[in-house]
Amino acid sequence: MADIIQLLPDHVANQIAAGEVVQRPASVVKELLENAIDAGASKIKLIIKDAGKTLIQVIDDGKGMSVTDARLSFERHATSKIRSAEDLFQLDTKGFRGEALASIAAIAHVELKTKQEGDDVGTSIVIEGSEVRDQEVIVTPKGTSVSVKNLFFNIPARRNFLKSNAVELRHVIDEFHRVALAHCNISFTMYNNGSESFNLPVGNYRQRIVNIFGNKTNEKLVPVEEDTEVLKISGFVGKPEYAKKTRGEQYFFVNNRFIKSAYLNHAIASAFDGLLKNGTHASYFLNLTVDPQTIDINIHPTKTEIKFDDEHTLYALLRSAVKHSLGQFNIAPVLDFERDSSLDTPYNFNKKSTSAPAIEVDKSFNPFQDEGRTNTGTSTKSVSFKKEPAANWESLYVGLESKSNSEPQDFSEVHFESEESTASMFDDDNSVEQVQTTYQLHSKYIVSTIKSGMLVIDQHRAHQRVLYEDFLKNMTIKEAVSQQLLFPLQLHFSVQEIQILNQLKEDLEHTGFVFSNVLKESIEITGVPISVPESEVSIILEQLISDVENEVPDAHFSATDLLAKSMAKSLAIKTGQSLQKDEQEHLVNKLFACKEPNVSPTNKTTFITMSVDELDKKFI
């Protein structure tokens, strides 16, 4: 029988490895930025076109490569980071497996330009699908430039699985943020489709956070510092009042490498226990420094997960450090029953000398002297305590005698002041006796009777369907009614969030929002839709931005549809909200007036029916 096991060709093995290393354009961005950092660069420039599908270029001013190194860098398992297996336990660099460039070259058109300091000329290599097409000597600045064009050009199936440009760009920006936050000593610049998106100069950690997420972030940060033999913690956590509904601004860095850890995230959540509203998540930007021998960073292909030797100790230290910072900066309440804030010494009395208080007493004061006499004494500051007689006090009792002699008053015509009646949400017809046709169950379901049996409606999903179709109709016919605000509402967002709102501005205006001013890090709203309370505006926009970033629920829906779904989800009646009888009936009538009452905007069942026969079977 013939042998059936054979070695895979190199180009096939590279494409299989690329499936692990390169999942989307953001994966290429991560690998190229980390290579630039390992090369000792002080300035790194990232250029993106079409969310990385057309071009990803990283230019650095690092040490560059020789001709041999440039050619060898595209071979599998070729690396300058390790020499023996023991080096894996002392890693202080980013890349070390030597698969990144080989994997990228297997599925894209790659052009490498590099030159070492001291060399007169550099090297240019062009690779397409793991095959070297051209290699020549060129004139280029010191450092390395890697251009990755037409990603997945030879794997159309992988390219079809990519999301829209907005979603892929969001992932690219996330990777850029993670690398930039971990290295404040390096200057980063990012260009998207020819325009500058980020320009991050060298600075401290707080300045880097503010440059990325906006000036408003500065007042939200609480510093965290702790240094022990096992772990060194530095960074910032966000104040509880600025907590968000999404987990966007949560960053852990271990030895300057971004990681994801649900276990350590729980430690932060535990430190904020009792300080956050339900459904909100605190922001944090924390750097953890540990001994490289106590961690394993090679357990995941993207190296975003790390295995610690002693996770329990790290959990306890992290939780205590965050809790200590919240208490130290008076973010968390302090239990101190003996402290009285009124006894605190003001700052301006810090260097003043103490002196006995001066008390002046009028020794000639006599309260039993006659009213008409003026108190005179030796004191220069004598005070007259003359008592003024009450004038016309008799007038207070005029008419009482005549009223007492008159006939007793008839109290049958006394009118009592009643509370002002508030207009009901729906018109009530008191002339017709109303019969209860709907009932609310556990403030979650509306139960109604039908001819064949019983109807049970999920009030939250049903209201979502009603609002969704209303918003979609308003945006389509562009005739939404707006409610003008007495005072303009100013909201602050990050630079990338403002860009998302700019894309949605026209659709938002069709729903009833009125924007008077849109700046780089803030927006001003002067009108909102009639159904939107002013207090809910920031929540709605935050939820909308989150949905657009993650493109919920699907990439094939239009921006208008996505906007209508997001607003309906934010404004719909919540589970646990009690409804009046007329509100219940109104919701039921509005639901069955919809085009698709059976499902919510996210394709979940809005109601179920149970016939009398099905109820009868329950009692058999």
Please state, as a whole number, how many other Cβ atoms lie within 10 Å of the Cβ of residue 95.
Answer: 20
Would strands 250-254 and 284-289 be described as parallel, antiparallel, or unpaired? Answer: parallel
pLDDT tens-place string over residues 532-576: 788 888 888 887 887 777 665 444 456 677 778 888 888 888 888
**The pTM is what?**
0.68
Report CA dihedral (281, 286, 289, 292) to the nearest 10 degrees. Answer: 50
pLDDT score at 225: 92
Which residues make beta-bridge pairs with 57? 47, 147
Q: Which of 234-238, 363-367, 382-386, 572-576 has the lowest mean pLDDT?
A: 382-386
Mean pLDDT along residues 181-191: 94
Q: Which of 198-202, 493-497, 523-527 has the lowest mean pLDDT?
A: 493-497
Maximum pairwise Cα distance, the chain: 137
Closest CA to 501 of 513, 484, 489: 513
pLDDT score at 183: 93
pLDDT score at 185: 93
pLDDT score at 378: 47
Residue 354 in this model has a pLDDT that exceeds 80: no
Instruction: Say if residues 611 and 479 touch (Cβ distance below 8 Å).
Output: no
Residue position matching structure tokens 């810090």: 350
Residue 54, φ and ψ in degrees, nearest 5: -95, -45
pLDDT score at 553: 44
Exposure string for 105-116, b = 16+ CB within 10 A, e = fewer? bbbbbbbbbbbb
pLDDT score at 202: 92
* Side chain identity, residue 373: R
Mean pLDDT along residues 338-344: 61
Instruction: Say if residues 483 and 530 touch (Cβ distance below 8 Å).
Output: yes
Q: Which domains does the chain have, with CATH numbers?
A: 10-200 (3.30.565.10), 207-328 (3.30.230.10), 439-609 (3.30.1370.100)
Contacts of residue 187, defined as CB under 8 A and 6 or more positions apart, other chains included, come to 42, 43, 44, 200, 201, 202
Among the ranges 79-93, 162-176, 295-309, 425-439, which has the highest mean pLDDT value? 162-176
Instruction: Say if residues 168 and 25 touch (Cβ distance below 8 Å).
Output: yes
Per-residue pLDDT band for 58 (boundaries 50, 70, 90) equals: very high
pLDDT score at 555: 43
Q: Which of 58-67, 210-219, 316-325, 473-482 has the lowest mean pLDDT?
A: 473-482
Instruction: Say if residues 401 and 408 touch (Cβ distance below 8 Å).
Output: no
Tell me which of 249 and 403 has the higher pLDDT: 249
Among the ranges 194-198, 232-236, 414-418, which has the highest mean pLDDT value? 232-236
Exposure string for 370-391, b = 16+ CB within 10 A, e = fewer? eeeeebeeeeeeeeeeeeeeee
Please state, as a whole number, how many other Cβ atoms lie within 10 Å of the Cβ of residue 611.
Answer: 13
Mean pLDDT along residues 506-522: 84
Tell me which of 35 and 334 has the higher pLDDT: 35
pLDDT tens-place string over residues 4-17: 887 877 767 766 66
Mean pLDDT along residues 577-592: 89
DSSP letters of 268-296? HHHHTTTTS-TT-B--EEEEEE--GGGEE
CA dist 594 and 600 (Å) reads 11
Residue 433 in this model has a pLDDT that exceeds 50: no
Please state, as a whole number, how many other Cβ atoms lie within 10 Å of the Cβ of residue 120.
Answer: 7
CA 512 vs CA 283, 485, 531, 538, 601: distances in Å: 31, 12, 9, 15, 20
pLDDT score at 302: 60
Contacts of residue 324, defined as CB under 8 A and 6 or more positions apart, other chains included, come to 226
CA dist 170 and 549 (Å) reads 6
CA dist 263 and 407 (Å) reads 85
Mean pLDDT along residues 304-329: 85
Of all residues in the chain, what percent are helix, strand and coil, respectively (each to 5)?
Answer: 35, 20, 40
Tokens of 578: 């009690």
Residue 349 in this model has a pLDDT that exceeds 70: no
Mean pLDDT along residues 54-83: 82
Can you give the length of the chain in residues? 620
* Side chain identity, residue 52: G
Tell me which of 503 and 560 has the higher pLDDT: 503
Average pLDDT, the chain: 80
The radius of gyration of the chain's CA atoms, rounded to the nearest angstrom, is: 36
Tell me which of 78 and 66 has the higher pLDDT: 66
pLDDT score at 556: 42
CA 22 vs CA 29, 49, 52, 59, 301: distances in Å: 10, 17, 12, 20, 10
Residue position matching structure tokens 């562009």: 478
Mean pLDDT along residues 306-319: 85
Mean pLDDT along residues 273-277: 84
Q: Which of 486-490, 557-561, 575-579, 614-618 has the lowest mean pLDDT?
A: 557-561
pLDDT tens-place string over residues 124-171: 999 988 888 899 999 999 999 999 999 988 888 888 888 888 788 888
Residue 585 in this model has a pLDDT that exceeds 70: yes
